[in-house]
Amino acid sequence: MNDEILLLLLKDMFPLEIVNVDTSSDMLTLEISKTAIYKVLAYLKNPLDFIYLTSLCGIHYPERELPLGVVYHLHNLYDNKRLRLKVFLSDEDPHIKSCVGIFSAANWMERETFDFYGIIFDGHPNLIRILNVEYMDYHPMRKEYPLEDSTRTDKDDKFFGR
């Protein structure tokens, strides 16, 4: 199965749910609407045989209209075909349906994404922090803080190429 056939199958099944298609990178990348991601993942697993969820992670692009995102990497082991799916969410409503019912391996990956990005996976069996302390009141991988402390006086910028 090549990218063109896979894309035709998905566009035929989900004509309005595919927001964007990117073929410029090493694998086919599709942006899917938030409401359809569960159905798309289920369809990709059966009948299209993308049975292996390689990774699931969060992303944060603060300059975008929908700054939070979830990236899914799937692998069809029979055809040795890889696929990347992206879903973008707003800061005000960072909810998305959990895919643990489709891929049990998503359990800890969704917990880690919640822990670091604050994305809430509705229907997750145990959505609690996995690496950070439970009383932490922020999500450390969000780009909400400056990279440098502007109050520092001990740093000479000429040593840093500025």
- The pLDDT tens digits of the residues spanning 3-31 come to 999 999 999 999 999 999 999 888 999 99
Which tokens is 15 given? 């004509």
Residue 161 pLDDT class (50, 70, 90 cuts): low
Sequence-distant (6+) residues with CB within 8 A of 26 are none
Q: Are 85 and 37 in contact (CB under 8 A)?
A: yes
Tell me the C-alpha to C-alpha distance, in Å, between residue 110 and each of 37, 123, 138, 146, 161.
Answer: 14, 11, 17, 26, 39
How far apart (Å, rounded) are the C-alpha atoms in residues 144 and 156? 25
Residue 106 clears pLDDT 90, i.e. is over it = yes
With vertex at residue 28, the alpha carbon angle to CA 60 and CA 48, rounded to the nearest 5 degrees, is 110
Q: What pTM did the predictor assign?
A: 0.89
- Full set of structural domains in the chain with CATH: 3-144 (3.30.460.80)
Q: What is the pLDDT of residues 48-88, one digit of tens each?
A: 999 999 999 999 999 999 999 999 999 999 999 999 999 99
Q: How many CB atoms lie within 10 A of CB 30?
A: 24
How far apart (Å, rounded) are the C-alpha atoms in residues 110 and 19? 23
Q: How many CB atoms lie within 10 A of CB 40?
A: 21
Beta bridge partners, 32, equal 18
Question: Residue 49 has what pLDDT?
Answer: 96
Question: Residue 162 has what pLDDT?
Answer: 59
Q: What is the pLDDT of residues 111-134, one digit of tens each?
A: 999 999 999 999 999 999 999 999
